[in-house]
């Protein structure tokens, strides 16, 4: 089987059997990404261990083309368990690989390598990048979040208490 055929099968498998699909009940943060060119949508929910700054849980929901959804599945599989720093670096490295002119690898070391073949179709590169861009934004959001405050509902209850 050629690398191209193998890549197509891996992408199809992730599309049809997405890993880490759904929404976390109590995510540390949730974030959405949208690719207007293709109509792809990705919603990430991430559970972060604040002491280690590690991604302990991650799930995605969304809709769109097979490339965007398969890429999201691969991304969650790859960064689950990683430190935020590692995950951000993985996203950056993936983005660079999708943007350079190097030919796709002749061997697939990990599932995510299957997306390198998409480079032949420039219009689809944004589909492959969407989950990773959303991940990078999520890490930024987490790093720049406001310190935890009392939730609005609690305040309301207090004010209304007899």
Q: Closest separation between CB of residue 10 and Zn ion, Å?
A: 17
Judged by beta carbon, residue 48 or residue 75, the one nearer Zn ion is: 75
H-only helix segments in 26-106: 66-79, 84-99
Q: Closest separation between CB of residue 137 and Zn ion, Å?
A: 18
Q: Closest separation between CB of residue 12 and Zn ion, Å?
A: 15
Q: Distances from the Cα of 136 to the Cαs of 109, 120, 139, 155, in angstroms?
A: 23, 24, 5, 33
CA-closest candidate to residue 7, choices 103, 130, 93, 123: 103
Judged by beta carbon, residue 68 or residue 134, the one nearer Zn ion is: 68
Q: Which residues pair with 58 in a beta bridge?
A: 46
Binding positions for Zn ion, rule: CB under 5 A: 38, 40, 65, 68, 127
Judged by beta carbon, residue 67 or residue 88, the one nearer Zn ion is: 67
């Amino acid at each position: 089987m050629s690398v191209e055929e193998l890549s197509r099968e891996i992408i199809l498998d992730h599309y049809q059997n997405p890993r880490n699909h759904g929404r976390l009940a109590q995510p540390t943060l949730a974030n959405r990404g949208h690719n207007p060119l293709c109509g792809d949508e990705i919603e990430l929910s991430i559970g972060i261990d604040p002491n280690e700054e590690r991604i302990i849980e991650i799930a995605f929901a969304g809709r769109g083309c097979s490339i965007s959804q398969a890429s999201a599945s691969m991304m969650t599989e790859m960064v689950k368990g990683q430190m935020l720093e590692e995950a951000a670096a993985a996203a950056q490295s993936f983005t660079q690989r999708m943007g350079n002119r190097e030919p796709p690898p002749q061997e697939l070391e990990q599932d995510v390598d299957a997306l390198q073949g998409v480079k032949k179709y420039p219009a689809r590169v944004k589909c492959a990048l969407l989950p990773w861009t959303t991940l990078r934004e999520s890490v930024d959001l987490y790093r720049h979040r406001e310190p935890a405050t009392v939730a609005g509902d609690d305040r309301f209850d207090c004010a209304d208490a007899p």
